[in-house]
Structures are given as C-alpha cells and as structure tokens.
Amino acid sequence: MAWYEGAFFYQIFPDRYFRAGPPGKPAPTGPFEPWEAPPSLRGFKGGTLWGIAEKIPYLKDLGVEALYLNPIFASTANHRYHTVDYYQVDPLLGGNAALRHLLEVAHAHGIRLILDGVFNHTGRGFFAFQHLLENGEQSPYRDWYHVKGFPLNPYSRHPNYEAWWGNPELPKLRVETPAVREYLLEVAEHWIRFGADGWRLDVPNEIPDPEFWRAFRRRVKGANPEAYIVGEIWEEADFWLQGDMFDATMNYPLSRAILGFVGGEVLDQELSSRSGLGRIEPLQALAFSHRLEGLFSRYRPEVVWAQMNLLTSHDTPRLLTLLRGSVERAKLALSLLFLLPGNPTVYYGEEVGMEGGHDPENRGGMIWDEARWQEEIRQTVRRMARLRQEHPELRTAPYQRVYAADGHLAFTRGPYLVVVNASPEPFRQDFPLHGALPRGAQAVDLLSGKTCTPAGGRLCGPELPPFSVAIWVEV
C-alpha cells in the first residue's frame, strides 16, 4: 500500500500559520499585518516554514500524517500563486534553508509533505516575463507566453496576452514551447529530489495537454516512485485518473455530498453558491449514499484510497461558517471524512473552529490561544485520526450501505459498522443488519464504549444522540 492511501492530510496556508525563525534574504523590514486583524487581500502576516516546523508536535498530537502547503516559492502575493522564482523558497517564509529544516523535522516525526505546483501561469515578476516586458518583440523569451501584441500592457484591465481568467497579474505560460516544458519538468523533479513527497497541482485542467502531464508523472515518479501527485480538479475526473497522469484529485464532489447531508437546511447556501462549491443540494441518507457509491465505483480502488477528501480549503468558506456555527454538525462532517475511504484532509484551523467567509476571510491567522479553541471539534479530529491508526481497515475497506432512511445512515467498512445520525432528534439504532455483524456476537461502539448483542438480524442498539456517529465492531 502506498503511504498516501488513507493518510490524514492537513492543509496549511504558510503566511497564516505561525511566525518563528530568521527571515530569508532579502529580509523584510515590516510592518506585518497584526496576526489577529482580519486578513486582507494584500497584507502579509509573516508566518514562516520555521513556524510550521515549530508546530510539528502539535500536528503530530492531532494525528496528522502528511502536510499539504499552499505555494511556498518566491512571489509577490501572500498566497504565492504569482510565482517569480520556482527555485527559491520565498524569503518571507525563511528561504530554502527553512524548507530544508521543515522537511527534516516533519520526516523525523513520520509526517510527509507535499508542495503546491503552479505551472499554468507565472507572476509578472518572473524572469522570462520581465525580459519580454523590457525588450518587447526582440526578447528571446517571446515564445514563453501567448502574446497578442506589443508593447505589453501588464497593468491594464485588458492585458494583450493570455492570462489566468484575464488577470493581468498571472500571464499564462506557453507550455507547448519545448523550453518551457523542460523548465517546468526540471522544477518538478528538483523539489522531489530536494525531499518533498509529492505535488498538489494548481488548475492542471488549464494545461489540457495529457502528454505534458504524462511526462510530469514520469519525471516525478522517476525521482521518487512513492511521490504523490494530486490535481485540483473540482468535478469528476476520470480523464486524469487512468494511472498515467495523477494519483488522485481534490475530491470536491465528496465535499458537496457530505455538506449536503450533514448541513441540510442549516447550510449557508448563499455563501456556498458564491464559491467554487456552488449550490449544495440538501441530501437525505439514501441520496447521500447513492452519491458516495457513485464516487467510489467510478474509479479504480487505488484511486479511491488515494483521493484527497476534503470539506473546505483556501478556496471555500470555512466549515463552521458554512454550517452557521453548528459545532455538532461540524464534528459530524469531520468524523465522516475519517470514516470514508481516501485521505481525510483538514484545512488549518477547522479543527479549532476558525470561521471565515470568502477569500480573504477564510485565510485568517491560525488561532493559538487555546481559550478560543472549540476544543470539542479538535478532540473529535484527534480521536478519529487515532481510530484510523488503530484500525487500518478504515483506510481502505470498501463502503457498503446497510441502512438509509431520512437522516439516518448505516454502512460497513470491512468488519466495522458505522451508524450516522444526521438529524436533530435521537435515533434508536434498531434496523436490519443484512449480515453486517456476526450472528449472536456481542458488539461494542468504539466511540461510546456501549455494547449490544444484535438479535433477530437487527442491531437493537442504544439511542444515538443528534448529529453523532457510532462505530460498531464484534467484541
């Protein structure tokens, strides 16, 4: 089994996690935006890779097995999707030395780390674009971009070159140019050889060239056969998941399904619909199970096990905000992430109940004041992570529906029977088992410690509180 099949991933926006350590060079002189102030589109809070390394014990205690970092290379944006140097970790994050340190500390604790690769476009400060800007048609770099006319007008609302969604700050690379292709493939290989454990690929569907992505896979897997390649594809992704391009995608269809089932009528539809999540359909248990079955049967088992299953990210509103402050529903949604096949992926701060709407509100400074934590949520994540470590079949055993009615769902994962109550009323766990647990055997709920002896082919278990889950297994 690959290390990334079923691993617990934790996504960090580096500028917003923790300040520590020396800056890289050129060193900033400030001022940084106050940590507690609402995040702004252009402000920097000064989080570093040294800071993330310092918090590895916190992450290890939470049960984290792998980190996914938003872009870390030199850039003029706090989110760093505007790359200006693919070989240089941003000095504000501590430079290359800070990444070396973070990798050493993470690996020493058994935590892997994947980087965010932005290969569709660069920032305006990237060398080739600057060269084109200064020299116009005479620049030997003119074939690096899709130029429609000279002189370039990079500060107008209507750039005369192709740019990501028309944003002049993000000129689109001409990946069909051999020199551009080779440059990007060398970058991909370089950081894997440096020690990174894989790549998350930004908008890879905007480079709709399968040959480029096949070559990308060969280079990355050639440098480290165990490297993980996950693409940011927001919909079903059969084309990309045939085994010749990506190992997995960010599983936003699963996000929508869980949010629709657990959020129900409470979910903030207006907020959701203005994000990449779109309008989320409220789902009862049977419809939810059908969505899951569709997703799990769509791909080969090794893809299902490797999918990056998430609820929220830097591109969506935060979980507690979407659920209008319902801690119970947030706990249940996170629990489901850990009880389904694939990689449960938690966006930093969701485990302590951070709130936030659209970008930039969803990218606030991590809360380190424990008095402000929603400790119930954190303990839920911690406990579910431990369960997966103690019961490895919860990573890969297939999903099998046993019972679904209204807000009540029961399914098996190997020898485990999971019962979910996604309704505001207690649920009596009395339903047909269809052979889910051995006849006559006593079962225990791994979460509450309660026991029951199924009779007459029915569970006949105790009441399950609103918005909670039980995990039954033979004693």
The tens digit of pLDDT for each residue in 116-139 reads 999 999 999 999 999 999 999 999
Burial 236-270 (b: 16+ CB within 10 A, else e): bbeebbeeebbbbbbbbbbbbbbbbbbbbeebbbe
Q: Which pair of structure tokens corresponds to residue 52? A: 């993330």
For residue 10, which of 319, 313, 384 has the smallest C-alpha distance? 313
Look up 197 and say whether it is catalytic: no
- The answer to whether residue 439 scores a pLDDT higher than 90 is no
Enter the DSSP assignment of 324.
T
Q: Which pair of structure tokens corresponds to residue 58? A: 């916190």
The tens digit of pLDDT for each residue in 297-316 reads 999 999 999 999 999 999 99
Q: Are the C-beta atoms of 369 and 390 separated by less than 8 Å?
A: no
Q: What pLDDT, on a 0 to 100 scale, did the predictor assign at position 441?
A: 86
Q: What percent of the chain has pLDDT over 70?
A: 100
Burial 185-194 (b: 16+ CB within 10 A, else e): bebbbebbee
- 3-state DSSP assignment of residue 444: strand
Q: CA-CA distance, 274 to 134, in Å (whole number)?
A: 39
Q: Which pair of structure tokens corresponds to residue 38? A: 């609402």
Name the active-site residue from 5, 54, 202, 355.
Answer: 202
- The answer to whether residue 49 scores a pLDDT higher than 90 is yes
Q: What pLDDT, on a 0 to 100 scale, did the predictor assign at position 19?
A: 97
Q: What percent of the chain has pLDDT over 90?
A: 97
Mean pLDDT over all residues of the chain?
A: 97
For the chain, list the domains and their CATH numbers. 9-395 (3.20.20.80), 397-474 (2.60.40.1180)
The tens digit of pLDDT for each residue in 275-298 reads 999 999 999 999 999 999 999 999
For residue 364, which of 11, 17, 4, 7 has the smallest C-alpha distance? 17
Name the active-site residue from 54, 232, 350, 355.
Answer: 232
3-state percent breakdown (helix, strand, coil) of the chain, nearest 5: 35, 20, 45
Q: What is the mean pLDDT of residues 321-350?
A: 98
For residue 294, give every residue at least 6 positions away whose Cβ sits within 8 Å of its Cβ, in sequence order, or none.
none
Look up 232 and say whether it is catalytic: yes
Q: What pLDDT, on a 0 to 100 scale, did the predictor assign at position 447?
A: 97
Mark out the alpha helices in 195-300 (DSSP H runs).
210-223, 252-263, 269-273, 285-298
- The answer to whether residue 440 scores a pLDDT higher than 90 is no
- The answer to whether residue 30 scores a pLDDT higher than 90 is no
Q: Which pair of structure tokens corresponds to residue 470? A: 């039980």
98 phi and psi, to 5 degrees? -70, -35
- The answer to whether residue 438 scores a pLDDT higher than 90 is no
Q: What pLDDT, on a 0 to 100 scale, did the predictor assign at position 271?
A: 97
Q: What pLDDT, on a 0 to 100 scale, did the predictor assign at position 184?
A: 98
Q: What pLDDT, on a 0 to 100 scale, did the predictor assign at position 135?
A: 97
Q: Are the C-beta atoms of 142 and 132 separated by less than 8 Å?
A: yes
Q: What is the mean pLDDT of residues 64-79?
A: 98
- 3-state DSSP assignment of residue 8: coil
**Sign of the alpha-carbon dihedral angle for 213, 219, 224, 225:** positive
